[in-house]
Structure 1
Amino acid sequence: MHGRVIRVGDMGEFALIDRLQRFLQAPSGSQVVKSIGDDCAVLQPSPESELILTTDSQEEGVHYRLDWCAPEDIGWRCLAINVSDIAAMAGWPLGAVVALSLPPELDVAFVDGLYTGMQELARDMACPIIGGNMTKTTGRVSVTITVLGEVPKGQAIYRSGARPGDEIWVTGTLGGAKAGLEALLQPDAVAGLPASHALMCYRRPQPRLHEAQFLRQRATLHSLLDLSDGLSGDLRHICQASGVGAQIEADAVPIHDETRRIAHALQADPLSFALHGGEDFELCFTAPPTQIDPIRGDFDQQFHRSLVRVGTIRKGKEVTLKQPDGSETVLPARGYDHFRPAEG
């Protein structure tokens, strides 16, 4: 963002669209029949596939702050959240369309950075950006992304299939994004502490797309989702959709050492970060007891991260937290809700 400032309002909608076309070229061999330049993008999946679709809006001041994240980070993050939803169905992305609401005085270099970040992830995830829309806003920057994906026919994994006796598993550690957010909110309290892992979790979440494919192909999963609203909130989604209850084991929940140190510096409970923090975008899934142990070694070796069993699906409707001393308490669903006040 150096040199002469070119403002969005000076350039105009169509010149800006022309400028962005260099970011929107579909790779050779993709399933894109028609990209930018018409009323719709056209995608051709195989006859044996089912299409899946997700969309999400990210608002400045609600989901990110411009003084906390580079434009490239914001672009990455906005696309990652949608690709993670595709992973949560055990699918694979085909393409993305991006809708922007921009103030006319915004520096065009910011928009370039936004698309650079999206394109970095798009290449990693084979999810070409194939078009979109933009409009003027008198408020703050808003980014809405829709991703179309596919999954082999009959192989999508839903939230609604969990069964009593299933084990509950997660990929990787939890609470990192919450630790990163708190480090940005309270920099003085964590000054001098390592925070690179936590900040990366917040700024550049990693969709577990390849991990979901591995699990779908190597094991029987009864339910699957991505952890956007915190383990306590998202597990409740599985239980409600499946008509079951669950028990989480407090001492089994995986927490990165950096997350623990940041939480302690803030006089907070690291377990609360992991259970309720949200935006980790790890996978949470349930499977029969014999399914996951045989593939854990291969998973760890391929993805350099661990599958961790955190609890069990049970009959009933309650979701409980089992402490190391054997006591159990009801686990409240305290994940993020846009329209309810945040709880402490």
Structure 2
Amino acid sequence: MTDKAHIAQLKKGVAAWNAWRDENPDIRPDLSGANLYRAQLSKVNLGEVNLREANLSEASLYDARLAGADLRKAKLYQADLNFAKLGGADLSMANLSGARLRTADLANAKLFRANLNAAHLGNAKLVKANLTGADLQYALLVETDLTGADLTGSRTHGVSAWGLKLDGAKQQNLVITPDDEPEVTVDNIEVAQFIYLLLHNEKIRDVIDTIGRKGVLLLGRFTEGRIEILERLRDELRNRGYLPIIFNFDKPETKNFTETVRLLAGLSHFVIADVTNPKSAPLELQATVPEVMVPFRPIIQEGEKPFAMLADLWIQHRDWVFEPLYYSSLDALVGALDEKIIGPAKARFAELLARKAEKMKGEHV
């Protein structure tokens, strides 16, 4: 039960309450079950306070100190907890639906079966937090730190998950379907929304299929002087019913784009790489070509030399790497597009597809 003396002290205001807490460090205030609906408690010191089943809905707890507080079954519906310190707090079965927790510190907090439906957790720190069985449906998780957190069995339908830190996080049995549908579970929160889209959106499946059949990756260093090459190839491919995917290496040379190139190449029907004056491109191509078995056609403007490792890539992977096509002008390149690039690439793609479908038989002696 709520200690009436503690409630009376809190009603004197945040400054008076914080001073009283400083003067009485051994007292653990009991505000369990207290009605603090819409209370203005910004920067309040509620560390280690018993707030079990308290009603803090729509309360302002901006930058509040709640470390180690007992908030089990507390009502925090649409509460402002931005920048709040909740490290080690027990929020098991608390209702945080619609709460704002941007940049809040929830490290080591217990959120077992907590309701975080539509909560804003952007940049929040949930390191080693226990979110077992929590309701994260429609929650906003952008740049959220979930390092070592336990998300086992949490509900993630409609979650927006971008740029998460998930080292050591447990992500088993995440429920991606809403409450009124049969449960479908995955083991990675970052792919949860994508898998659900695949299950319920035929257009998404069509897009993925289209990319595999019609996607063409255009690689090159398209600086201001060479942007015309990119634009013309893109237009010509579109006119032929292809879906051009463009990756321009005209970025800081210190950055490694290998994973991006590898992913885009794996989604494509074939790759056209303008390696004229490649500079940064060789690093990514040397790492991508051996692992991604799709037709790869290098093109080079006449008078330029290919980078040194291109010959090695062709020798080692000539089943899908074509010899370079030297073009004298943009018009000449476009004129040869169907005969020298698209036609051979389509034929090679079919050959590679058939090879991938072959089954190993072995020999008997």
Higher helix residue share: 1
TM (normalized to structure 1)?
A: 0.22
